[in-house]
Amino acid sequence: MFPGATADRSDASYAVVGAPLDRSASFRPGARFGPERTRRFAQGFEDYDHHTGARFSELGVFDAGDLRAWDDAAEYLSFLAGDLREFVDDGTVPLLLGGEHTVSVAGVRATEPDVFVTLDAHLDLRESYDGNPLSHATVTHHALETADEAVILGARAGCAAEWERATEADVTVVPPEEVTEWEPGFEGEAYLSVDVDAADPAHAPGTGTPEPFGLAPRTMRHVVRELAPRCAGFDAVEVTDRDDGQAATLAAKLLREFVFAHADS
């Protein structure tokens, strides 16, 4: 159980759902361990948040456990989206723990936001990667099948076709050096996805595709706090077991920051 997630499902305001999909890793696998590690490395956090004066254990967070992944990614994402939709229909905000970034597709389908916002080192705008249309490198492409626009914060890697696609009106890319000054100018409800590789690998080495020259954790925290009140859902993904817990600790802390800021709005 995620520490402090003590609410019953029937009266929960937020629901943690683990999605340990680890099927399309193109460099280092291990995202299947993300949900468990994120929960484990959250154990040392204080319940009390001095920014909002709230206690995490009193904010109505329920932990639904993990939805075990299987080989058919399309079927799994459809099932996961249905599971998350049940929470959305009950007025509960889903908090998805990956797993590879592909699971965010299910979060977007379940919440149907106007805008998909992602903290990510990569554009993820490919239509397929290595012949796989449901690769972790296609997430933003698929999110735009549901959302009207996408905002990619911290991106610093992508193929030529992705950078060309990113010039279109429905995509905004904010490079790492400009994220601290970025202000959301979009209208409507958002879905916020945190790929932990948005952080510089010096801060979060335990991820599948680390990319240097990334974001500082404080910058990521600022984005999460700013956007949380406008969000219908949240996820933290691409945490692996390839470090001493730095990536999992960051993901867990950002999930908590999201809940504190959302509940305080």
Q: Cis omega before residue 99 (within 30°)? A: yes
Structural tokens at position 131: 């012949």
Phi, psi of 16 (to 5 degrees): -85, 130
Residue (of 20, 227, 210) closest to 103 by Cα position:
20
- Per-residue model confidence as pLDDT tens for the chain (265 residues): 999 999 999 999 999 999 999 999 988 999 999 999 999 999 999 999 999 999 999 999 999 999 999 989 999 999 999 999 999 999 999 999 999 999 999 999 999 999 999 999 999 999 999 999 999 999 999 999 999 999 999 999 999 999 999 999 999 999 999 999 999 999 999 999 999 999 999 999 999 999 999 999 999 999 999 999 999 999 999 999 999 999 999 999 999 999 999 999 9
Q: Is 60 helix (H, G, I), strand (E, B) or coil?
A: coil
Structural tokens at position 126: 């490919």
Whole-model pTM?
0.97
What are the DSSP calls for 156-211, one per residue?
-B--HHHHHHTTSTTEEEE-GGGGGG------S-EEEEEEGGGB-TTT---BSS--
Does the domain formed by 9-263 have CATH 3.40.800.10?
A: yes
What are the structural domain ranges in the chain?
9-263
